[in-house]
Structure 1
Amino acid sequence: METVALESRTGRERQLYEDGCRLVAGCVPYKAKPGVVLSQLKKKKVEDSIVVLMISSPNRKDLVFPKGGWEKDETVYEAAKREALEEAGIRGTIHEKKLGIWESRSKSSEISRSPLSKCRCHFFAMKVEEELDSWSEQPYHKRRWVSVEEAMELCRYPWMREALQKCLEFLEGQNSPGQEQSLSGPKCSENILSSSTKSSSPSCSTSPLLCTSS
């Protein structure tokens, strides 16, 4: 393990927006339990053979997966990897296949009703390969490895449970021929949307809602 010197990005000067939604990237971090080889599993055993990493927030008992704003100078994959490093102190492989896109709204923003308070969350599966012993947002987020069953109970948002379920389905499909390979780094091309650029992605009107998977 090592100590990470990276400082978290602050401010929203580079934040991307689309159709009035703040664009967010995140991941479901996972690893196999000791002695388990995921590529040799049968589908029904995946849920019992992995643990997932979640993070806490101050004064909260429930947990979330790492996520945060997608900015103009990075791809969505780079944003997801950066947020995992900043919030949870982890590095690993982001899988190319997107678990889905969800729209969410925080409790504080629900009160304000601001049209820019909605978030459009792009989520991926991440195979964790390195855990740092300290990270930039450690004072605000403690990490915790939990079983899939525990994660389903502890998720703060229903849409994160959906993302976890999509992650399980993705891992189950990895044993099938012709499945996509994972990415060891941000080698994929993903169009970066400016605040004035419209996307072909379906617009979301309900929160939380699974919009699409690619």
Structure 2
Amino acid sequence: MTLNDDDGEPRRQVGALPFRRGRDGQPKILLVTSRESRRWVIPKGWPMKGRKPFEAAAREAYEEAGLRGAVGKRPIGFYLYQKRLRNLDTVLCQVKVFPLEVRKQLKDFPEARQRDLRWFTPVEAAEAVSEPGLAALIRAASRT
């Protein structure tokens, strides 16, 4: 069963696309595993009361991956995916994605023991994620 908001619109989420330059000068993108299915995803979550969307995205990046850095105030795009809920229903979500230039990666953070983290080249990251919209967003972002 798929659940949406009453008006049929997807539920809105915010996410961060964490990036940095590798030692070789090439861009790298950090992905995290989801807690339930262990898929490679970007840090994301529900909007937070009292925080602007880009601030909530940066907060998710800290909680899920221990990242600190400069978050863009404008989204680079969005993608849709089916989120599986604890009761096994799914809900269609639209994730607004903000760029996050990583300046610091902490070893200890709230979800450190619940997720794996890995830096990928943009091509590897696009291949590792299962959502086609997120893969397209990664490819487009890495061309800029």
How far apart are the structure 2 equivalents of 1:61 and 1:71? 24
SS at match of 2:111: coil
How far apart are the structure 1 equivalents of 2:110 and 2:47? 18
Counterpart for residue 25 of structure 1:
14
Counterpart for residue 168 of structure 1:
142
Matched, 1:124 2:101: no
Cα distance, 1:118 vs structure 2: 2.3
Counterpart for residue 4 of structure 1:
none
The AA in structure 2 aligned to 1:30 is: F
Is this contact kept in 2: 1:28–1:167, CA < 8 A? Answer: no
| Identical amino acids, percent of aligned pairs | 25
SS at match of 1:97: coil
Residue among 113, 133, 139 paired with 2:113 = 139
Matched, 1:65 2:42: yes
The structure carrying a bigger strand percent of its residues is 2
Higher mean alpha-carbon deviation, 56-65 vs 76-85, is at 56-65
The AA in structure 2 aligned to 1:96 is: K
The AA in structure 1 aligned to 2:53 is: V
Q: C-alpha deviations, 1:134-172, integer Å up to 9, x for none? A: 110112112111112211221121121022123223xx2
Note the aligned Cα RMSD (angstroms): 2.4
Alignment of 1:32-51 (within 5 A): 32-34=21-23, 36=25, 49-51=26-28
Matched, 1:106 2:83: yes
Is this contact kept in 1: 2:29–2:119, CA < 8 A? Answer: yes
The AA in structure 2 aligned to 1:77 is: F
How far apart are the structure 1 equivalents of 2:18 and 2:114? 18
Counterpart for residue 55 of structure 2:
78
Is this contact kept in 2: 1:54–1:66, CA < 8 A? Answer: yes
SS at match of 2:40: coil
The AA in structure 2 aligned to 1:144 is: R
Higher mean alpha-carbon deviation, 95-104 vs 144-153, is at 95-104
How far apart are the structure 2 equivalents of 1:165 and 1:31? 15
How far apart are the structure 2 equivalents of 1:23 and 1:71? 11
The AA in structure 2 aligned to 1:25 is: V
- In the alignment of these two chains, the number of paired residues is 138
Q: C-alpha deviations, 1:62-97, integer Å up to 9, x for none? A: 411111111222100111000000000001111233
How far apart are the structure 1 equivalents of 2:82 and 2:89? 11
SS at match of 1:159: helix
Residues 22 and 81 (structure 1), Cα distance of their counterparts in 2 relative to 1, 3 Å cut = same
The AA in structure 1 aligned to 2:32 is: I
